[in-house]
């Protein structure tokens, strides 16, 4: 951490800075430059709140040098985290294909689609029972009944299931019936939910907030790691930009190699929600594999024209099967394994 002092700061203002640094068992190093005077903080400053300095009258700016997260960083843990769930491995050298309906709509629909994605080559089943919807008038999900269907279908097909929790109550249910807990983009900074997830012993996938920086995304992971749950995956799902005419969001594929350089956690891409249009799902899935993601999460629906949620972005089972074949060819060109 480097603290830049204001021109014309007083000695006592400088002393306030030094005092706070020392209170945190760090050492302040004073550097008088031509234009600015700075205090470099020596020691472990990752957990000092930078605002403690920013609010001082003599301070102009505070710049973090070490990342504000610890457990999520490569500095803390060099080797890649590998997550194993019922025979599926997220981690280096592997690529996991997750597919299924955006929302569970009925037992029959879920069975049909799950069997189709399994046949096409998916490794994990996706499906939502609790849906966060922008409008109060849109379909809000089947709730616990939906989770029971997912559990039964997962058991029958042998595909582990990933499903989203929205709050304390739904988390309890998702933990009971699901295999991987999904925290959605709108909940990335729902710190109450992150703390509850951190107490559980099932893997969690945290979607990046739609306007979250990479540091904030890793700090959300830090909340879960700090509470004791080390099975954390990150998911890039598209960020908000100035142009939403043709794609709902901009998928920031460049964030994948960055997150993998900064952190040891697996990184997933969601090309369906990131685009919002199925024409982009196949090329962006291939690009996700090529850019180094560990997994993708794809919406599949066998009658998208009647889907209750996000139909425009769902692939049909034959389209999904075509995608899986291409993924196998590209993975093979890049020496990456896909199960099944």
Given the complex with its own copies, which of 97 and 214 has the nearer CB atom? 214
Q: What is the closest distance, in whole angstroms, from the C-beta atom of residue 10 to its own copies in the complex?
A: 13
Closer to its own copies at the Cβ: 215 or 321?
Answer: 215
The binding track of 179-218 with respect to its own copies, each residue x by CB under 8 A or -, is -------xx-xxxxx----------------xx-xxxx--
Binding its own copies (rule: CB under 8 A), the pick from 250, 321, 322, 338 is: 250
- Structure tokens given for 147: 């989770």
Q: What is the Cα–Cα distance from 158 to 122, expressed in whole angstroms?
A: 11
* Residue 152 or 322 with smaller CB distance to its own copies: 322
Of 289-318, which residues contact its own copies (CB under 8 A)? 289-292, 304-305, 307, 309-312, 314
Q: Which of 56, 103, 117, 296 binds its own copies (CB under 8 A)?
A: 56
- Distances, alpha carbon 152 to alpha carbons 114, 125, 198, 221, in Å: 11, 12, 26, 30
Nearer residue to its own copies within complex by CB, 155 or 303: 303
CB 166 within 8 Å of CB 186:
no
CB under 8 Å to 234, separation ≥6 — which residues? 205, 206, 208, 217, 218, 221, 259, 263, 265, 266, 267, 268
Q: Give SS3 for 5.
A: strand
**One character per residue 132-171, x = contact with its own copies (rule: CB under 8 A):** xxxxxxxxx-------------------------xxxxx-
Which residues have CB under 8 Å from 224's CB, separation 6+? 194, 197, 198, 204, 206, 232
Q: What SS3 state is found at 324?
A: helix
CB distance 48 to 64 below 8 Å? no
The least CB distance from residue 158 to its own copies, in Å, is 28
Q: Does 30 bind its own copies (CB under 8 A)?
A: no
> Based on CB atoms, which residue is closest to its own copies, 81 or 285?
285
Q: Which of 124, 142, 234, 286 binds its own copies (CB under 8 A)?
A: 286
Binding-residue pattern over the window 91 to 120 for its own copies, x denoting contact by CB under 8 A: ------------------------------
DSSP sequence for 266-323:
-EEE-HHHHHSSHHHHHHHHHHHHHHT-SEEEEEB-TTGGG-SS-GGGPBPHHHHHHH
Contact (Cβ atoms closer than 8 angstroms) between residue 266 and residue 239:
no
Bridge partners of 267, per DSSP, are 234
**Least separation in angstroms between CB 307 and its own copies:** 6
* Least spacing, CB of residue 86 vs its own copies, in Å: 29
- One residue of 143, 330, 338, 339 binding its own copies per CB under 8 A: 330
Q: Which is nearer to its own copies, 85 or 286 (CB)?
A: 286
Question: Which residue's CB is nearer to its own copies, number 257 or number 318?
Answer: 257
Q: Residue length, the chain?
A: 340
The site for its own copies, by CB under 8 A, has a size of 113
Other CB atoms within a 10 A radius of the CB of residue 283 amount to 13
């Amino acid at each position: 951490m480097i603290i830049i002092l204001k021109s014309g700061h007083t000695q006592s203002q400088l002393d306030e800075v030094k005092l706070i640094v020392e209170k945190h068992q760090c050492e302040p190093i004073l550097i008088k430059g031509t234009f600015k005077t700075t205090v470099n903080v020596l020691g472990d400053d990752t957990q000092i709140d930078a605002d403690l300095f920013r609010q001082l009258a003599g301070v102009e700016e505070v710049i973090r040098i070490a990342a504000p997260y610890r457990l999520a960083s490569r500095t803390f843990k060099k080797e890649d985290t590998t997550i194993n769930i019922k025979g599926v491995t997220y981690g280096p050298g592997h690529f996991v294909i997750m597919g299924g309906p955006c929302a569970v709509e009925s037992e029959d629909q879920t069975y049909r689609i799950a069997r189709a994605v399994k046949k096409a080559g998916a490794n994990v089943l996706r499906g939502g029972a609790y849906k966060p919807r922008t409008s109060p008038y849109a379909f809000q999900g089947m709730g616990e009944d939906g989770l029971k269907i997912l559990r039964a279908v997962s058991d029958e097909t042998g595909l582990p299931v990933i499903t989203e929790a929205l709050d304390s109550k739904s988390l309890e249910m998702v933990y009971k019936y699901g295999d991987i807990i999904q925290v959605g983009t709108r909940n990335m900074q729902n710190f109450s939910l992150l703390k509850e997830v951190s107490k559980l012993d099932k893997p969690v996938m945290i979607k990046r907030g739609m306007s979250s920086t990479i540091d904030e995304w890793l700090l959300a992971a830090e909340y879960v790691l700090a509470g004791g749950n080390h099975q954390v995956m990150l998911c890039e799902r598209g960020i908000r930009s100035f142009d939403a005419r043709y794609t709902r969001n901009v998928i920031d594929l460049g964030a994948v190699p960055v997150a993998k350089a900064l952190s040891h956690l697996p990184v997933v891409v969601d090309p369906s929600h990131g685009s919002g249009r199925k024409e982009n799902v196949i090329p962006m899935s291939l690009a996700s594999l090529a850019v180094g993601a560990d997994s993708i999460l794809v919406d599949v629906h066998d009658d998208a024209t009647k889907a209750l949620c996000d139909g425009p972005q769902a692939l049909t089972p034959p389209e999904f099967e075509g995608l899986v074949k291409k993924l196998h060819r590209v993975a093979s060109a890049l020496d990456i394994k896909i199960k099944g």
